[in-house]
Each structure stands twice: as C-alpha cells, then as structure tokens.
Amino acid sequence: MTIDGKVVAITGASSGIGLAAAALLAERGAKLVLGARSPDKLNAVAARLTESGADVITKPTDVSRRADLTELVSTATDTYGRLDVLISNAGVMPVSPFDELDVDGWEAMVDVNLKGVLFGIAAALPLFRRQGFGHFINTASTAAFRVTPGQSVYAGTKMAVRAISEGLRQEAGEKLRVTVISPGMTSTNFAESVTDPATRAGLEQRRDEIAMPPAAVAHAIAFAIDQPPEVDVGEIVVRPTAQA
C-alpha cells in the first residue's frame, strides 16, 4: 500500500504545513481525518478538498488536551476502520528572550509542541499495535539542531520531539514506522503568536526573504509515507537553500 487509500490523521491541519500536507495527500488518494482548534477553518478546508473529490472528515482538536487526540484517533477508526498514519504537526512559536519571563508562552510551547506529540503517541500506539501496522510522523524543526537567542524554549521542545521520536522508533519493532520531519524557515503564520513587536517583525522579515513554501515540507511527508512497509524513513531535514 502506498499513499492511495491510506487513512491519514493530521493535527494543525487548517493552515501552513498541515494544510499543504492535507492537500497533497488528498491529491494522491489518501483518506483524511483533519484536526485543528478552529472548527470554522477546518470545515472550510474540508469543503475545498471535498469539492476536488477528496475523502475528508474533520474533528476539532486541541492537541494540548489528551482527550482530543484520543477522539481524533477514534474518529478515524469509527469512520474508516483503521488509521495508517498520524501526522503530529500542530505547533506554536511564541518565542522571546528569557528576560521577558513569558512563562505563559513557555507553557504553550511545552503543551502543544511536546505534550501534543506525546498525547498523539498515547492515542495511536495501542491501535497501531493491534492493527500490526502504523506510521507516526512528528514535526520537529531545524531549531532542534541549532539554538539561537530568544528561541531556547522552542528549540528545547523540538529537540525533545526528536529524542522522543527516536526512542519510539527503537521501541516500535518491525511493523511500525516513525519519521521526524524537521523543516527550516517556512512561509506560514508561525510568527503570529510572538508578542514582542521587534522579535515578530524580525521573524516576519526573515520569512519573507528566504522561506520555502509549505508544499516543500508536504512533499517530504509524502515521500516518507510512500515508502514500502519495510522501509522506515527516520528523519528528513528540509530547509530553504538560503538558510544557514
């Protein structure tokens, strides 16, 4: 089985990389279970994809709530009888210097970027074991390889995603697959949660100068899914050529 016919759940699916992945995978015949916090945005995405002939269902999902991930996975199995791939893509980036003491921002990054991945694993792993197949795809970042001032907590959550994913891969056995996708600067709305005007302006300027389209990351995700069952793509790092 390649992408055609696979049941794929995606968090953070209403915009950015998640939306681009949904569009590409739908084009290649996947059955989609889309999760994001905004029901209105989700429904709008589903309507557009359905008009193009895609098989799509939605479930409002806040990945910081374990129950929401459980319900997302249950929605997939209740509708399609199985889940082939869980793409844990939802993320936030309210970066700031430590001196600002943005503890709420720190907590948000831990809750969404890190605990959201763990809650996805908790929801899907027992199902994947019962099925005898399944593929976790977790979105990290090139920040997991390089810490820069003001982004320490964000980088810490993404480093943790890489570590957790690698540990999961080692424990997964021969029937499950685990992939980490680490994007560089991507043309999304990632800066909208940054409260410091100067930091936000700098990030947006850099994004507008060098960022790659979300579709570039979506193609990396599709590549990992499209491998034969016995092939596990452990990690893909994809960044703009202009990014140091």
Half-sphere exposure of 233 (CA within 13 A, CB side): 17
Tell me whether residue 128 is in a domain.
Answer: yes
Tell me whether residue 47 is in a domain.
Answer: yes
Tell me whether residue 59 is in a domain.
Answer: yes
Domain of residue 77, CATH code: 3.40.50.720
The answer to whether the CB of 97 falls within 8 A of the CB of 150 is yes
pLDDT at 191: 83
Tell me whether residue 244 is in a domain.
Answer: no
pLDDT at 29: 97
pLDDT tens readout for residues 69-128: 999 999 999 999 999 999 999 999 999 999 999 999 999 999 999 999 999 999 999 999
- Largest Cα span, the chain: 51
pLDDT tens readout for residues 12-31: 999 999 999 999 999 999 99
Q: What residues have CB less than 8 Å from 21, skipping those under 6 apart?
A: 10, 13, 87, 89, 214, 217, 218, 221, 222
Instruction: Read off the pTM.
Output: 0.96
Q: Which of 244, 14, 34, 10 is nearest to 143 (CA)?
A: 244
pLDDT tens readout for residues 36-55: 999 999 999 999 999 999 99
Q: Which of 33, 81, 35, 30 is nearest to 53 (CA)?
A: 30
Domain that holds residue 96: 7-237
pLDDT tens readout for residues 117-160: 999 999 999 999 999 999 999 999 999 999 999 999 999 999 99
| Residues involved in catalysis | 154
Query: Which of the 8 DSSP states describes residue 211?
Result: P
Domain count for the chain: 1
- d(CA 190, CA 161) in angstroms, rounded, equals 18
Residue that the structure tokens 């850099």 belong to:
206
Q: Please count the other Cβ atoms lying within 10 Å of the Cβ belonging to residue 218.
A: 22
Tell me whether residue 243 is in a domain.
Answer: no
Tell me whether residue 143 is in a domain.
Answer: yes
The crossing angle, in degrees rounded to 10, of helices 152-172 and 115-131 is: 10
- DSSP per residue over 175-206, as a string? SEEEEEEEE-SBSSSGGGG---HHHHHHHHHH
